[in-house]
Chains A and B, each alone.
Chain A
Amino acid sequence: MELIKDLPEVFEDFAEQRKNSFLAVKKIKEAGKPVVGVFCTYLPQELPAAMGAAVVGLCSTSDETVADAEKDLPRNLCPLIKSSYGFAKTDKCPFFYFSDLIVGETTCDGKKKMYEYLGEFKPVYVMQLPNTQNEDGYEMYRKEIIRFKEKLEEHFQVEITEESIREAIHQKNEERKALKGLYQLMRLDPLPMKGSDLFHVLYGSTFKFDKEQTIAELKAIKQKVEKEYAEGKYLEKAPRILITGSPIGGGAFKVVNLIEENGGAVVAFENCTGAKSTEELVDEEEPDVYKALAERYLNIGCSCMSPNPNRFELLGKMIEEYKADAVIEVVLTACHTYNVETFGVKRFVTEQHGIPYMAVETDYSNGDVGQLNTRIAAFLEML
């Protein structure tokens, strides 16, 4: 297996910041480290980590390449799927470009059908994800995880030992604890920091390759925030908003900015870029590492699961822990599973927790910022 080490032909056309990202990944590749690109949170990152690969998230959040994607994909498809496909097709994203293997899972319909086309021009491997969290589901996912391990071994000509998986599990758990330690500071009232600032740290940490350094940095940030809080540095009291729904970041992050601009405080993210992928640890005591991974990962409460009790459980727990005054759900346009679930989430939030709820459907463009601004301002006025 030859690692991809050359820059794309169109390299000179890129803006400075993107050039730097390309060069950063190139450096990793030159050090002989393979890159595995992943999409959803169901992927057990411990396996590529166990073979010393850098793991990068490929879910794209900019509308820059949506038009390129629409040459092949339908317009009324989720922007995350279109954007990701577009970045892969145009080689405009360093992480896509340098990924030696791209791994998807059969999560939502849009993504799994997109992977079929993506596989025509990129090295794609798709894990079969069960859509129910029952005994058969866990057993099936355990087998899929073993198959994925074998795929990695075959593709990269390496051996992945149980010992190395255990080490990776431990390290990933340490990273989860560090991330959790930081975002749990948002339980404080008044808040120690802005939700948007917190999010950028959480999101940014997924693009760092030296995990030990990342863990140390996260702990240092936590200590700094705690120290400043003790010295009386905190934000003004404001309505506490919990964010849930589709993956958020990049283009869709406008919702969080609008909440903060209109005087709201974002206290927590239940989304897969927030607590969903971090809250639960992998059981390090379980003798069967594959079983431990299968249980931890399949437990994630994404709306592609049916039924999806774990999402409601986590949401309810977070509403209490973060003393949320209201919940705002961000649904990406044409994300059917989250959109359908809004009906149940609204009932859950308003009836069982007695706090207001609003769902907004949006994409990565700026066309609806005026409308969103009015809706979010009106929602905050209502609180």
Chain B
Amino acid sequence: MKYSIGIDSGSTTTKGILYDGNEVVKQVMIPTSARPRQSIHQVYEELYMDQVKSVITTGYGRKLLPEADKAITEITCHGIGAAWLNPEIDSVIDIGGQDCKAIVLNEQKQVADFLMNDKCAAGTGRFVEMMMRLLEQPMDQLDAFVEGKEMIPINSMCTVFAESEIISLLAEEKDPGSIAMGVLHSICKRTAFFAQKLNISGTVFFTGGLTRSKVFTQILSEYLNQPVVTDDRAPFAGAIGAAVYGYNRGECI
């Protein structure tokens, strides 16, 4: 048996996948520390074994693992990983900790075009994190927190200004769940505007940490006006893509 490792060193979390050419054998996710080199190494140590023939890294810290055979960008890896998780898809939207990507796949499920937002935290996972911290709620309680809530529109596009807008709303004693709902709508709307530049069509696969929120996925689909699918392993899409890429092109064949 031969294996490949894929590691996605993201801004918030570092994800690792051990792949046997058929299935994901093991997955690891840890918070990315202020020294991403240590986090990426820790994930590598947890996954490595003798039969590993290929190690591919991706994400912002992709150049930080000397043991890696190759570093590939997260755009390519998310495309491969998403198509591996669901071969029926036509495009991918990834909302990461510090950026947002929209990817269009061709018929061979390779990246045909992509967009990446830059220099702004609005419309990224960081925005949701900041808001939940402000509202004193743990991230994993997001869906329960907004369930059945009306939404209060958040108008500021900038994370910093949105924060002061939220503080003003709290001072008016508005319902925190409705404020959170407003933030989710704001991000989904922004993401949909951003993605429409690419003529995203067909079935959209949603990746990144926010895929764990069913409410978020649902709202995103409404704004995109297209079916959005995801997977329990969608936060690992980048790492899966790296592992699959390495397995198919590396020593494993």
Contacts and interface: CB of A to CB of B under 8 A. Distances in A.
Interface of A: 356, 367-368, 370-372, 374-375, 377-379, 381-382
Which of B72, B112, B118 has most A Cβ within 10 Å?
B118
A143 to B, nearest CB: 42
A378 B118 contact: no
Interface string B118-139: 1100000000000000000000
A348 B182 CA distance: 39
Contacts of B84: none
A371 B74 CA distance: 11
A43 to B, nearest CB: 34
B75 to A, nearest CB: 3
B60 interface: yes
A367 B112 CA distance: 28
9 contacts: A371-B119, A374-B73, A375-B75, A377-B73, A378-B75, A378-B111, A378-B114, A382-B76, A382-B113
Given A368-B118, A371-B119, A378 B76 contact: yes
Interface in B60-80: 60, 72-76
A250 B112 CA distance: 31
Contacts of B74: 374, 378
A375 B116 contact: yes
Q: Which of B73, B74, B76, B111 has the most chain A CB within a 10 Å cutoff?
A: B73
Interface in B32-81: 60, 72-76
Nearest to A357: B113
Interface string B84-114: 0000000000000001000000000011111
Nearest to B116: A375
Given A356-B113, A382-B112, A374 B75 contact: yes
A345 B112 CA distance: 17
Contact of A371 (B76, B99, B111, B113): B99
Contacts of A367: 119
Given A368-B118, A371-B99, A374-B60, 8 more contacts: A371-B118, A372-B118, A375-B118, A378-B74, A378-B76, A378-B111, A381-B75, A382-B110
Contacts, number: 39
B241 to A, nearest CB: 11
A63 to B, nearest CB: 15
Contacts of B73: 374, 377-378, 381
Interface string B164-184: 000000000000000000000
Interface residues of B, number: 15
Instruction: Give 3 closest A-B pairs by Cβ, nearest first.
Output: A378-B75, A378-B73, A371-B118
A371 B73 CA distance: 11
Dominant secondary structure at the A interface: helix
A368 B119 contact: yes
A371 B116 contact: yes
Given A370-B60, A371-B99, A374-B60, A381 B116 contact: no
B84 to A, nearest CB: 17
Contacts of B60: 370, 374
Contact of B72 (A368, A371, A381): A381
B119 A381 contact: no
Contacts of B118: 368, 371-372, 375
Contacts of B75: 374-375, 378, 381-382
A346 to B, nearest CB: 9
B207 to A, nearest CB: 15
**Residue with the greatest number of chain B CB neighbours at <10 A, chosen from A356, A370, A377:** A377
Contacts of A375: 75, 116, 118
Contacts of B113: 356, 382
A374 B110 CA distance: 17
A368 B119 CA distance: 7
A368 B112 CA distance: 24
B92 to A, nearest CB: 12
Contacts of B116: 371, 374-375, 378
A301 B134 CA distance: 51
A373 to B, nearest CB: 9
Given A368-B119, A375-B116, A381 B76 contact: yes
Contacts of A370: 60
Instruction: Give the interface centre of A367, A370, A377, A378 by most chain B CB atoms within 10 Å.
Output: A378
Nearest to B111: A382
A103 B86 CA distance: 60
A374 B103 CA distance: 14
Nearest to A382: B111
A105 B114 CA distance: 37
B133 to A, nearest CB: 24
Contacts of A382: 75-76, 110-114
B70 to A, nearest CB: 11
A243 B133 CA distance: 44
Contact of B111 (A368, A374, A381): A381
Contacts of A372: 118
Contacts of B72: 381
Nearest to A343: B197
A368 B75 CA distance: 17
A294 B73 CA distance: 48
A263 to B, nearest CB: 12
A380 B20 CA distance: 28
A382 B99 CA distance: 19
A372 to B, nearest CB: 8
Nearest to A360: B118
B124 to A, nearest CB: 12
A382 B74 CA distance: 12
B86 to A, nearest CB: 21
A338 to B, nearest CB: 17
A375 to B, nearest CB: 5
